Each structure stands twice: as structure tokens, then as C-alpha cells.
Amino acid sequence: MLAMMLQPLQALQQIAIRCIRLCCHVVERYICVFIIVMDVVDLLKDEILNLRKKLMEKEAVLRQHQTQMYEKAEEKGLYKKLTNVEIDRYSRQIIMPEIGMKGQQALKNSSVLVVGAGGLGCPSALYLTGAGVGHIGIVDYDKVKLNNLHRQLLHPETSTGQPKVLSAFNSLKRLNSFVHITPYDMQLDSTNALDAIRDYDVVVDATDNVATRYLLNDACVLTDRPLVSGSALQLEGQLTVYNYNNGPCYRCLFPVPPPPETVTNCGDGGVLGAVPGVIGVLQALETLKILLGHQGVVTKKLLLFDASDCSFRNVRLRDRNPSCAICGNEPSITALVDYEQFCGSKANDKHNSIHLLDNVDRISTGTYHDVRSEPHILIDVRSPLEFEICHLPGSLNVPLKDLASEQLVQPLKEVITKKGSSDKDFPVFVVCRRGNDSQKGVLALRETLSGLNVSVKDIIGGLHSWAKDIDPSFPVY
């Protein structure tokens, strides 16, 4: 009787087992197919990468031959005139009355040094190369980083980790093999700037730091070269040509460098890629106008570009200062100086660590990792926008500038009073992106939290160290 009652149940069980087996089989097949597709994708990616490498090797050999040919031809004075291919290639600008054969010929016989192969240097060099400037030098000491690619469009993904000048050289040569490109993988400084600049007619300042701006300015004044200067940050850009047509030099307008802490760079302030794109292209345009001897070069005035409403504004600049230290009537500077010392900042925009706190007031990311399960408060002093990109679990976001405000710190005080016990200092840790602002945060909090039993320390190296030493999956920006 019992066996009869169980029969349909067993049949159902069998059907269920079959169904499950069938499902497993289907899932297994899907996984297999997925794995096979993934394998094919990986294989194709590897193959394409190898082909690209081979292509680059072949292109390098070709360029070597072309360079030799160029040099031999130049020795014989052969390349002074435009070839028929060049006439065809540049015909759309040659037929303009402002350029003509003479203008194109002039471009072919001119040379431009682009300093910086970054956000401004890439678009600048791109249009100078396209226009057929005969010789372009490009200087940079840095390597291509992943976070350069959104705006430094001469660098393809495959260049990441490569010297920027090599990457720029390859892209420019691929674009126009008629142009002679000289890459300089080096930092321009007082020891090499004059020699580098003397070989070129015009200098484009596409760098990102104040020390190099003064260096280029002085070097251009001493060698009598126009300096096409540009800058871009966030949604704004600026452009002017210094030391041209009796106009002012950079020192005439800014005899004293700004305090280093007031200078914001792209790494901290951010920049929308198309903004340096606009300014870089305008730098190329002004350079071409100088080489062609055109009127209307942006000198003795400053062009201001505001991308938020796409407005361009020209403001008049002061005239050349007769008592300027470098271009004045009786200059006190007659040779290049130490620009890092003069500006009190490095000739790069790389992050410099500051030391405001004693070691006892700081903890490593490893120590924080070990104590994070114990009661404490972690304050992240970055901006809310940065906090949104990534943050450590349980951290409170109080931006550095708000730490000095009694009113804004009041809720924090309440949390500490609630959590802390009176017999032991309650631990408060401060974190930021790289470990500088967190130290400032500790100093500010010591003021605003005075009177409370707290021990305030910062985390050395900030979230960058956390990602490097503790959690490699943590985003870095």
C-alpha cells in the first residue's frame, strides 16, 4: 500500500532529477561556450597586440631610412622646395591667399620646439605636423599614464608606460612622414634649455608648472625666440605669445612667482579634455601665423576661453616693462638661473609630500587596517566629488575647508561625545588622497575638537597607500 502511494512521488522525483541534470547540462554548455568565446577574444587580443608591435618595429625601420634620406637631402639643399606630392598634400591651404606657395615653402623651412607632450602639446604638435612645418622638436621627460589618455590624444592605449616623446614621435610620423620630428626624452632645465631652443624658430610652452614657464621665458628672451604660451584647467584656458614684436615677456607681467600653494594643477583640479584641445590647437595656429609673418598674433593681449558658455575674451596686457629683469633695458638676469629655487616649487607637477606632523601623530595604512575593527572615527577630508569616486567603509566626509568651521564640526563633536569614554582618548583618524591634506586636517581638528578627549592622527600616504599596500582592488585616481 505504502509502496503504491510512493510510486507517483518517485516518478516525480525522477522527472525532477532529469530536469536538474538537463539544466546543469545546458548551463555547463553555456559556460563552455562562454569560456571558448573568452579564449578566442584573448587570443585575438594577443594576436592584434603582436601585429601592432611588428607594425611599430617596421615603422621604426622605415623612419630610420627616411631620417637618413632627409638628412642627406638637407645636406644637399634638396628639400627646400615643395615636391609635387607636397603641393597636392597641402593644396587646400596653399590655395589660400594668406598662404600660397611662398607660405607653404616658409613652413617647410621652419622649425618649432614643442615643450611638453601632454594636454596642450599633443593637439599643438598634431596641427603643426598636419600643416607641414618642416622640423618639429618635442620635449618631455614623462611616461604616458592611463589618466593622460582622455586628453593627450597623440598617445594610444598601447603607449601606456612608454616615454611620451616616443609615443608622440610615432603618432606624428604616422600622420605626416614629410615632417622631420626630433624627440627629446628629457627634462628641460637651465643646463640644456638654451641649446635646445637655439635650433628652433618658435617655442610652444605646453608645460604645466611655474618653474618651467620662467625657464622657457628667460631662455626665449636670451635667444630671441617668440614663446607661444598656453594653459588649461577644468573648463578654462588661456593663450598669449610672449617676447614677440616688442610685446611683454612673462616676467614683465609676473616679476615674482605665485606662492606654490596657490597653484592648482590638472591632477588636483581636473580638466575636461577638449579644453586643452582648444588651447593647444590655438597655440599651433598662432605659431603658424608667426612663421608665416601674419598680423594679428595674440601678443600684448591675453585670450581667455571659458568652455562653460563657450566664450572667448581678449584682455589687453601691460606693455613690455623697460625695467624687466630679463627683457628690460638694463637686464639683471643675463643667464639662466635655478628656477626651482626661484619659484620654491619643482619643475614638474608631481605630488610632493609635506611633513607637518611628527611620526607619533601619524599611523601607517597597515596599522589602521589592524585597528579598524575597534571603536574609532575615520574622517575623509577630500571634496564630496572625490569621496563619491571611492572611500573607505564607515568614513565620514568632512572636506578640509570645513574642518575649521565650529558649526560644521558640531555634528562630529556630538558623535565623538556619544562614542567616546572619559577615561581614554577616543581615536579619530584623518585620511585624504595622498597624505598631505590629512596632516592639515589633523592640525585643524586639534583646534576645533580641543576640550574633547580625542587622539587625532592621520593615515600616512592616504588612499593611494591603502590601494598599494592593503587593498589592490581599491580605485586609484
Ligand X SMILES: Nc1ncnc2c1ncn2[C@@H]1O[C@H](COP(=O)(O)OP(=O)(O)OP(=O)(O)O)[C@@H](O)[C@H]1O
Residues in binding site for ATP: 119, 140, 147-151, 164, 208-209
Query: If contact means CB under 5 to 8 A according to the sort of partner, which of ligand X, Zn ion, none does residue 367 touch?
Result: none
**Full strand arrangement of the beta sheet holding 362-363:** 362-363, 454-459, 426-431, 377-380, 396-397
Residue 116 in contact with ligand X, rule: CB under 6 A = yes
Residue list 145-164, contact with ligand X (CB under 6 A)? 148, 164
| Nearest partner of 214 among 250, 240, 245, judged by Cα | 250
Q: Which residues are annotated as a binding site?
A: 119, 140, 147-151, 164, 208-209, 249, 252, 324, 327
Distance CA 179, CA 136 (A): 7
Stretch that binds ligand X, among 78-86, 102-110, 207-215, 422-430 (CB under 6 A): 207-215
Stretch that binds ligand X, among 72-80, 201-209, 398-406, 450-458 (CB under 6 A): 201-209
Stretch that binds ligand X, among 140-148, 316-324, 409-417, 432-440 (CB under 6 A): 140-148
Q: Which residues pair with 227 in a beta bridge?
A: 203, 242
Closest CB 138 distance from ligand X, rounded Å: 9
Q: Which residues are annotated as a binding site for Zn(2+)?
A: 249, 252, 324, 327
**From 24, 266, 310, 343, the catalytic residue:** 266
Residue list 208-267, contact with Zn ion (CB under 5 A)? 249, 251-252
By CB under 6 A, name the one of 107, 133, 241, 266 that touches ligand X: 266
Closest CB 347 distance from Zn ion, rounded Å: 20
Query: If contact means CB under 5 to 8 A according to the sort of partner, which of ligand X, Zn ion, none does residue 142 touch?
Result: ligand X
Query: If contact means CB under 5 to 8 A according to the sort of partner, which of ligand X, Zn ion, none does residue 225 touch?
Result: none
Distance CA 347, CA 189 (A): 8
Residue 190 in contact with ligand X, rule: CB under 6 A = no
| Nearest partner of 114 among 133, 145, 138, 150, judged by Cα | 138
Would you call 237 helix, strand, or coil by DSSP?
A: strand
Q: Name the one residue in this structure whose C-alpha cell is 578654462.
A: 236
Distance CA 273, CA 229 (A): 18
**From 122, 220, 343, 432, the catalytic residue:** 432
- CA triplet 347, 350, 354: central angle to 5 degrees? 100
How far apart, in Å, are the Cα atoms of 446 and each of 67, 145, 305? 63, 38, 42
Nearest residue (CB) to ligand X, 130 versus 273: 273
Beta pairing class for 236-242 and 227-233:
antiparallel
Nearest residue (CB) to ligand X, 106 versus 219: 219
Query: If contact means CB under 5 to 8 A according to the sort of partner, which of Zn ion, ligand X, none does residue 440 touch?
Result: none
By CB under 6 A, name the one of 67, 238, 321, 348 that touches ligand X: 348
Angle between helices 100-108 and 274-292 (to 10 degrees): 110
Residue 139 in contact with ligand X, rule: CB under 6 A = yes
How far apart, in Å, are the Cα atoms of 120 and each of 126, 153, 230, 233? 10, 10, 7, 11
Please say if 343 is a catalytic residue: no
Closest CB 334 distance from Zn ion, rounded Å: 13
Residue 442 in contact with ligand X, rule: CB under 6 A = no
Residue 196 in contact with ligand X, rule: CB under 6 A = no
Q: Name the one residue in this structure whose C-alpha cell is 614638474.
A: 348
Which H helix or E strand runs over 113?
Answer: strand 111-115
Distance CA 188, CA 190 (A): 7
Stretch that binds ligand X, among 31-39, 76-84, 170-178, 263-271 (CB under 6 A): 263-271
Residue 205 in contact with ligand X, rule: CB under 6 A = no
Question: DSSP label at 425?
Answer: P
Query: If contact means CB under 5 to 8 A according to the sort of partner, which of ligand X, Zn ion, none does residue 249 touch?
Result: Zn ion
Region for 261 from its dihedrals, namely left if φ exceeds 0, alpha if ψ lies in -120 to 50, beta otherwise: alpha
Please say if 432 is a catalytic residue: yes
Q: In degrees to the nearest 10, what's the CA dihedral of 341, 345, 350, 356?
A: 120
Residue 324 in contact with Zn ion, rule: CB under 5 A = yes
Residue 208 in contact with ligand X, rule: CB under 6 A = yes
| Active-site annotation, residues | 266, 432
Binding site for ligand X (CB under 6 A): 115-119, 139-142, 148, 164, 187-188, 207-209, 212, 265-267, 347-349
| Contact positions vs Zn ion (CB under 5 A) | 249, 251-252, 324, 327
